[in-house]
Every structure is written in structure tokens, then in C-alpha cells.
Amino acid sequence: MNAARSPVNPPASPPLPAWRDPAAWARAADIFAVLIALSLPWSTSLVGIFSFIWLAAVAPTLDFRLFLQSLKRPISALPIALFVLAAAGTLWSGASWGARLYAVGPVAKLLVLPFLFHHFERSTRGMWVFVAFLISCALLMMMSWLVLIYPGLTLKGDDAYRGIFVKNYIDQSQEFALCAVVLAYPVATLLRQGRPWQALVLVALAVSFVANMAFVIVSRTALVTMPVMLAVFALMHLKARTSVMLISAAIMLGALAWLASPQLQATTERFTQEYRAYRDLNQVTSIGLRLEYWEKSLRFFAEAPILGHGTGSTLGLFEAAASGPATQIQSQVIGNPHNQTLNVAVQWGSAGIVMLYVMWLVHLLLFRGEGLVAWIGLMVVLQNFFTSLFNSHLFDFHEGWMYVLGVGVSGGMALRAGASAGGGQSAARSKS
């Protein structure tokens, strides 16, 4: 009788080297996404470098079959379609080829959105990105106060805007406003959970952002859009009575801040001063320029309402429409009409407007669920939409990357949460 043979375990396969391990590449991609968020408030060059490296790190982790399927979703297909329209618009533009290709660049960042959706739908480290952005903005806020006290610390090289260490007051205000409003959700959550001390820390941080905007410097766009974002929070997450109390308190605090802040008073008073100077004296003012740009842009749109004048055509159209002495507002030319809708309408007509608004809508609907991730994504989309009434923020570098990173990361996390919830519901139904 033959002796029983002991089972032989197959030899364990050797671990993959790091450069071939998809998990290692995924961790690297998460780290570089964090680095993008950390550098966004401070540097444009670093954002570009880290974004390129992030795409290179994501490439080895892609499941190409699933990725190609994900491109069919409207949240990914519409940004791609808008880029394709911009690229096709170079064919009927009257601008130089250099101007046409340069105008495609601001739209190209939207192509990163499908990669962000796909990666953070699988990654569990998406919240790292938002925490990194909050920390970076908090450090910038502290630096802003230091520059206010010691103006020589600024890297701007002039005293045009106090309290600005890098970049400009518009970018800084957008960051601080977004952080302050987004923090309202975790504060409310912590209070409901009976954790007042943790909530107090976040309240202090949010108040610090608002105080910097009130007493150092703030953009007028942030002044207009921040109350809208707070109202959305009150309507969505608070009871009617609490919402009324919160809105009333916000109005009172806003009035007190305006009375206590000469900087805030000067910012709001410039609205009427600049409009009167434009209307009565035809002087070149910020508000006057916007009204002039918008009026001319509507004329350009009416001339080519279906497909527009083509990619990169805006500057040439303004140059052709300029008239009068250089000191008059009618002589001013620009390649950006300071309104996202008009920026798209002039170049790509009604086709571009439809794609833009449907993209905003599908991204907004992506965040109709509950939770902090949905709240972050919702606020990023709303801020970009409302600020784009006064600027072309989707195509601007800084605000555009805030949108791409915020929507891409939170969108991927929302898709992951939705898939997990759907799987749990399917399992529950199968057991019943």
C-alpha cells in the first residue's frame, strides 16, 4: 500500500516590484493629488507639474475597459465634448493659429475630470485632498495677516493690494470663501453629534477666513456669491426656523463687519462710485469695463449665434470694435469678456452655451445626496457657476483647477459611495 502523499502547496508568487504594482501607483497618484491641492493656493507652476505627474501615475492603474465605459457617463462625456468643440472651433476662427491654439489650453484642463472620477471612484483617500487644501488655505490666511502687518514679506513686488502674499486677491477670496462655507456642514454635524469643542475649532477657522476677507481684502465677486452659498446651506440642512435665525444672524454680523471694516466699506462703495464714473463721465472703471465687454459680446454672439466666431476669436473682435481715444472706455480691448457664458457664446455660439450649462447641471445633480462629500462637490459647482457671472472662472487657471479638482475628487467619491450603497441594497434584497 502506497504511503499517503502530503499535499504540496504551490510556491507563492514573488511580490511585484513597486514599478509594476498597480497599488503602489495608486498610492503615488493619491499623494500627487494631495500635492496639487497643497500647491494650488500658492503656485501655478507646481500645479501644472504635479498634475502631469499625477496623470503619469494614474495611467498604470487604469482598467481600460471600465475607464472607456465611464467616458460614456454625461459627467465625463460633456467636459470632453466641450473640449472637442473648442478644438473644432479652431477650424472656423479668424484669429491667428497661435491665438487659436492658445485659447484651447484653458479648456484642456476639463479632460482631467474623467481621470479624477475614475481614480477616486476606486481610491479611499479622496478626503486627504480636501484636508490638504484646507490646511494650505489656512496657512495662506495666516501669511496674509503677516503681510498686512509686514508688507515687505509679499512676493508681489508692489503695494497694489495689501495682505496678498502670492497670486491675487480674487483667487485668495475664492479659496477663503469656499473653505468658510464648506466648514458649515461639518460644524452642524459635530453639533448634532454632541461634540461642541471640535465644532468650535472649525468655527474659529471659518471665522478667521471671513475676518480676513472683511478686514484685509476681498473680491466683490466673493461678496456677492458667498451669501448665496450660505443660503443654500440653510435651505438644505437646517429647519425653517433655524434657517431664519441663521440668516438673520448672518445679516446682523455682516452689517457689524461692514461698520467695523473700512476695507469692506471701501470695497462696497466702489460699486456705485465706479458705475457713476462710467455712466456720467465715460471713465474706464472695473464695472464700466464689464458692462462694455458684455454689451459688445452680446453683439458678437448675435452675429454668429449657432457656432460662434471660432476659438480664440474674442480679442480680434474687440480690437475691430474699439473706437474713440485711448482714454475712453469704448477703446478698451480684451480677450476675455469677464463672463463665462459670453466667453463661450462668442467663440462657440449656442452649441457651446448648451454644453456648458448641461455640464454644470449634470455635475450639480451628481451631488444631490447627503454627506460631507456631496456638500463639498455641490459648493464647488455652485461657486463656479455664480462667480462665472462676473468672470470666466471655468477657463481661468486657478478657479478652473479648483473646479476640476473639487468636482473630480468629490465626484469620484460620490460615485464610490453610490456603488457601495447600491451593492448593499442588492445584497439585502437577495436575502429577503
The grid cell for 14 is 514573488
Pick from 224, 195, 182: nearest CA to 388: 224
* Banded model confidence at residue 57, pLDDT cuts 50, 70, 90: very high
> Is 329 within a domain?
no
Report how far Cα 368 is from the mean position of its chain's Cα atoms.
18
pLDDT at 191 over 90: no
The answer to whether residue 167 scores a pLDDT higher than 50 is yes
Give the Cα separation of 258 and 132 in Å (integer). 31
Number of folded domains in the chain? 1
Say yes or no to pLDDT of 252 above 80.
no
pLDDT at 340 over 90: yes
| Whether the predicted pLDDT of 428 surpasses 50 | no
Could you tell me if residue 274 is inside a domain?
yes
Q: Is the pLDDT of residue 339 over 70?
A: yes
pLDDT of residue 196: 86
Asked if the structure places residue 184 within a domain, the reply is yes
Query: 33: which 3 cell numbers?
Result: 493629488
In a domain, residue 415? The reply is no
In which band, very low, low, confident or very high, does the pLDDT at 1 lie, cut at 50, 70 and 90?
very low
Give CA 35 to chain center in angstroms: 16
Residue 275 within a domain: yes
Distances (CA, A) of 377 to 134, 152, 394: 14, 37, 15
pLDDT given for residue 161 in this prediction = 67
359 contacts 351 by C-beta, under 8 angstroms: no
* pLDDT tens digits along 100-131: 999 999 999 999 999 999 999 998 999 999 99
The torsion angles phi and psi of 295, rounded to 5 degrees, stand at: -65, -45
pLDDT at position 377 is 93
Q: Which helix (H) or strand (E) holds 261?
A: none
pLDDT of res. 430:
45
Domain for residue 168, yes or no? yes
- Give me the residue label for grid cell 474687440: 318
**Rounded mean pLDDT of 231-260?**
60
- 292 contacts 321 by C-beta, under 8 angstroms: no
CB atoms within 10 A of CB 405: 24
Residue 293: pLDDT band by 50, 70, 90 thresholds? confident
In the predicted model, is pLDDT for residue 363 greater than 90? yes
**Cell representation of residue 39:** 500647491
Q: Which of 180, 151, 181, 156 is closest to 168 using CA atoms?
A: 156
Q: If you average pLDDT over every residue of the chain, what do you get? A: 82
- pLDDT (0 to 100) of residue 272: 67
Place of cell 441663521: 246
State yes or no: pLDDT of 382 exceeds 80.
Answer: yes
* 246 pLDDT above the threshold of 60: no
- Helix 22-39 × helix 397-431 angle, to 10°: 140
* Within a domain: 290: no
Q: Which long-range contacts (CB under 8 A, 24 or more apart) does 200-209 make?
A: 205/134, 205/138, 205/179, 206/179, 206/180, 208/138, 208/141, 209/137, 209/141, 209/176, 209/177, 209/179, 209/180
Q: Is the pLDDT of residue 142 over 90?
A: yes
Task: Tell me the average pLDDT across 274-291.
Answer: 65
- Helices 196-215 & 240-260, crossing angle to 10 degrees? 40
Residues present in the chain in total: 432
Whole-angstrom distance, CA of residue 177 vs CA of residue 206:
9
According to the model, what pLDDT value does residue 324 have? 64
Residue 432 has pLDDT above 50, yes or no: no
Confidence (pTM):
0.85
Q: What angle do CA 294, 298, 302 make, to 5 degrees?
A: 170
At residue 251 the predicted structure's pLDDT band, cuts being 50, 70 and 90, is: low
Alpha carbons 267 and 363: distance in angstroms, whole number: 33
Whether 55 is covered by a domain: the verdict is no
Residues contacting 214, CB < 8 A, separation 6+:
257, 260, 261, 263, 264
Alpha-carbon distance 194 to 383, whole Å? 30
Phi, psi of 8 (to 5 degrees): -100, 120
The domain of 225 spans 123-281
